[in-house]
Amino acid sequence: MKGVLEIPDTLEIYRGDNFKIIELLTKCNALHLWQVPRPANTEARIAAVSGVSQASDTNGTPTDPDSSIKAALKAGHAAAERKVSAIQDTKRDLKSRLAVVEEAETAVLGAQKAMEKSDTALLQSLMSLLAMDNY
């Protein structure tokens, strides 16, 4: 009909927006931005960082919202530092184990070469004995 305004299917518009939102949520999830600590742990860490007693009437929650964010960031940063430290310790341990394996491999290869030389010398001596017997 002429003069009738066509309204786009809003459901299709919302689906497109939902895909964008889901894509963004997936990216955030890949960055581990959704790892929120439990409230009890967060309150204790905030209280420890801000110096407020857990038994106070504020339950360890600072009045400044920025300080709670800072405290949560410090707690997350400390956890990340512990993970990095553990990874570095594991890396050092694996490097030392690799060095031991490489030394063992070198020793085995050296022994293998020595055995090949002794086999060659034995064959040569047997050949020379056979040659002497034939003359």
Q: In this structure, what token pair is assigned to residue 22?
A: 């889901």
User: For position 63, what pLDDT does the model report?
Assistant: 57
User: For position 121, what pLDDT does the model report?
Assistant: 92
Q: In this structure, what token pair is assigned to residue 99?
A: 């060095």
Residue 117: which pLDDT band, with cuts at 50, 70 and 90? very high
CA distance 95 to 119: 36
CA distance 76 to 84: 12
User: For position 24, what pLDDT does the model report?
Assistant: 75
Q: What is the pTM of this model?
A: 0.39
User: For position 71, what pLDDT does the model report?
Assistant: 81
User: For position 109, what pLDDT does the model report?
Assistant: 92
User: For position 110, what pLDDT does the model report?
Assistant: 92
Q: In this structure, what token pair is assigned to residue 90?
A: 């594991």
